[in-house]
Amino acid sequence: MKIVGSHYLDPAVLARLPNLELAARRLVDGAFVGYHKSPKFGYSVEFVDHRDYARGDDSRSIDWKVWARKDKFYVKRYEMESQLKATVLLDVSRSMDFGDGKLTKLAYGSYLAASLCYLVIHQNDMAGLVTFDEKIRHFIPARGSRAHLRAVLGALGSVKPGPKTDVGRSCHHLAETITARGMVIVISDLLDEPEAVLSGLRHFQHKKHDVIVFHLLDDAELDFGYDELANFRDLEGGARVAVDPATFRDQYRGRIGAFCDDIKEGCRKSSIDYVAVRTSTPIEKTLGDYLRFRARRSV
C-alpha cells in the first residue's frame, strides 16, 4: 500500500545529493552513542581534560602518568558522542500556498522537509516534524526508525494551507517545548514582521539549538515580473489592490530586497545559518549546495 505523502520523498532528488552527513555544529543531547558532540562526559576515544579524583571513581580512569609527576590522582575525561535530534519546522500558512511556477512554496517546502528527515534518519540520527501557521498543526517528536519516517510523510501528505502565519509566536512556543538541545530547521517564506521572526529564531539559539533557516520565496515574489495591470490579492488577509506592475516594480523589488536583507543580517548576527531559496531552484541543488557548504565549514 502506498504511503500517504511518499511522493514528497523523490528518489531522483535523493540520488543526486552528495554523500555528506548533516552534522551538528553545536553540542547536542542524546540518549544513545552516535556521531555528534555531546555536553555530557563519559567513555569515548576523544580526550578532553582532567579533573580531581573523587571517591567512587573507576580506578581505570586515573591518569597514572600525571600521578607520577604530581603525586596526586587525576581522572581523565572523555567527550561522549550523541545522536542528533533534528526537528524540521514547516510553515503551512496560506501565503505558502503561492506559486507562479512548477511548485507552490508549500509543495517545495514539503519536498525539502521530507528529504531532510530522510537524510537525518538515514545517517542513524533522529528527525521530527512540526507544521505551523499561527498555531502548531502537527508535532511529531524526533525519532529514528523507518516507521517514524512514514509518520512524517503521512503528516506532510495531510497538510492543508492554514490561515495567516505567526512565525515568531510559533518559534517561541516550540523553543520552550523542544527541551533536548539539537538542530532546528525552519522552512518558511517568513512573511511576517522581521523583528518578530528574528526574536523567535534567537529563542532557539538561547536554548542552545543549532538553527538553520531555509527562506523560500517564489520568483514572482522576488522579481515581480508581471506586465499587465491586475488585481493582486493578499492570500492571508484577503484584501485586493489594483496595481500597474511597471510603475510599482522598482519600489516593490527594493522593499522585498530590504526585507530579505534584514532577515539575512539578523541571522548572521545570531550565528544562524540562512539559506535563501527560489522555488525555481531544483530541490537537490538547494540541499546539495547547503550540505557542501556545511561540510567545508566543519573542516
Q: State the span(s) of the chain assigned CATH 3.40.50.410.
A: 6-27+83-298
Evaluate whether 117 touches 185 at the Cβ level (below 8 Å).
no
Evaluate whether 35 touches 89 at the Cβ level (below 8 Å).
no
Summarised one tens digit per residue, pLDDT across range 138-156 is 999 999 888 899 999 999 9
Model pTM above 0.75: yes
CATH superfamily of domain region 6-27+83-298: von Willebrand factor, type A domain (3.40.50.410)
CA pair distance 171, 241, nearest whole angstrom: 31
- Sequence-ordered list of residues with C-beta below 8 angstroms from that of 187, at least 6 positions apart, any chain: 88, 89, 90, 91, 109, 112, 113, 214, 216
Question: Greater confidence, 116 or 163?
Answer: 116
Question: Greater confidence, 239 or 64?
Answer: 64
Summarised one tens digit per residue, pLDDT across range 167-207 is 999 999 999 999 888 999 999 999 999 999 999 999 999 99
Evaluate whether 270 touches 207 at the Cβ level (below 8 Å).
no
Looking up cell 544513545 gives 32
